[in-house]
Structure 1
């Protein structure tokens, strides 16, 4: 059972390297580009001023992960300075897609705590130091691989306490979540989902809400509407979208869409322009 592949096939990640080398002066990000960021402190020390305005001094090689657009600063220590690789990133489906929405605003991890990422980090740092043709394209792909490995690390270590990613790390909920992700058009009942998890209906519903923060029905609605929003962005006809995500007609999808977002699919698309 693959907990991540369906998510990433629907809401894949794209990364773009924009800095490699010594950081000269304060680097400020205001979130206006509507992209998240991943920074790798390779050597030296730097102060991270996070989205909450608090400062964190980093003196060990570290990964700084901000999956959504957010205001932050990197302030190099002088005279030692800091050597960093920095990339912007975005998930398909917009800033509110369910994968990025399930992640914390900020995650800071020492690289020596990430053995699963070690080989990719060595490859990435080696590629950054060389001048091979295709270097930037290679680094973009390596950053994308690094993000997928980071998601795998978070699941394997049950690093998140609530939300979708916490549910996918929960041995009692993961199977039912994967089924909803893989077969969103099915009219899943709570009893059917509970059977997938080998739990009673009442125990399943209570545990689901405590971990995910939503009822199973609300979660399924959110997942379907997220898929519909992605397909609308891609220009798919709403009649086809309705069938793919489990609604018998475009009008039924429109009612569910309005219930979830507060606007019709047409008005929601207009708001993006």
Structure 2
């Protein structure tokens, strides 16, 4: 599999359409659902009051991408208004998954800077304007496609400078990251990963930390524990998970899990279950 498909096969995205139409006035999003947001400004102008509390006026068709839950507001004047298409999104593995964790809090891009997304955007706006049966389901799948194409754009144009997405865009690091993602069960060493990237051990360790923001060993641990968390959410037993993610026994996985999260797998699952119940009430 390619560098992006491998990542998304483990931590795919799911979108839910929640607004299509003209906004006049103020709309507030508190992030309480535990999901990220995608807002598409098709026409008109809108002011984004973002997580950094700075106002950003958008007068051109634009994409607002917030991969994690974030309180923000959109304001459009009563006279002109803003034509919007909006969805929430969540990644498999919860809010701390490796994909969203490697992205900035908020990306705002003009649609004319995203030629790779042009055909999909036309399809989405046409679908939003019509009243065909299955409209909502189609738009949600198109939002998911839009996220994948956005990631492809970010990788191809090297627009992210730290985190795993930046590493996947780096020709020297992408191969070793792909090996980690594909084969977390193997006993990877820094020397082995450096060899995959055709670098010396010392140069690889320095470059990896500079780009990813973690040492290779820390990233390998993070990836394995993220996979373990995803599989725990899916109801898999810790005995089966341990060998899949590179640990010789459930107790070895439990020790690594506690070192990374501060919780045992059992206590972590109780905490997750409690949080999900609270979000539903």
TM-score bin (small chain): over 0.9
Contact 1:47 1:77 in 2 (8 A): no
| Pair 1:258 & 2:258 matched | yes
CA distance in 1, matches of 2:68, 2:246: 29
Contact 2:24 2:78 in 1 (8 A): no
- Following TM superposition, the consecutive aligned residue runs of length 4 or more in structure 1 with deviations greater than 6 angstroms are none
> Which consecutive residues of structure 2, in runs of 5 or more, have no partner in the other structure?
275-281
> Displacement, 1:258?
0.5
* Number of the residue aligned with 1:178: 178
Number of positions where the alignment pairs a residue of Structure 1 with one of Structure 2: 273
Name the SS of the counterpart of 1:154 in structure 2.
Answer: helix
**How high is the TM-score relative to the length of structure 1?**
0.99
* Number of the residue aligned with 1:114: 114
CA distance in 2, matches of 1:219, 1:32: 29
Contact 1:65 1:106 in 2 (8 A): yes
**How high is the TM-score relative to the length of structure 2?**
0.96
| Structure 1 segment 133-152 matched on structure 2, within 5 A | 133-152=133-152
> Displacement, 1:77?
2.6
CA distance in 1, matches of 2:165, 2:15: 21
| Pair 1:128 & 2:128 matched | yes
CA distance in 1, matches of 2:241, 2:233: 11
* Number of the residue aligned with 2:15: 15
Contact 2:190 2:217 in 1 (8 A): yes
> Which consecutive residues of structure 1, in runs of 5 or more, have no partner in the other structure?
none
Select between 171-180 and 75-84 the one with higher mean Cα deviation. 75-84
| Pair 1:232 & 2:220 matched | no
Name the SS of the counterpart of 1:26 in structure 2.
Answer: strand
Contact 2:25 2:78 in 1 (8 A): no
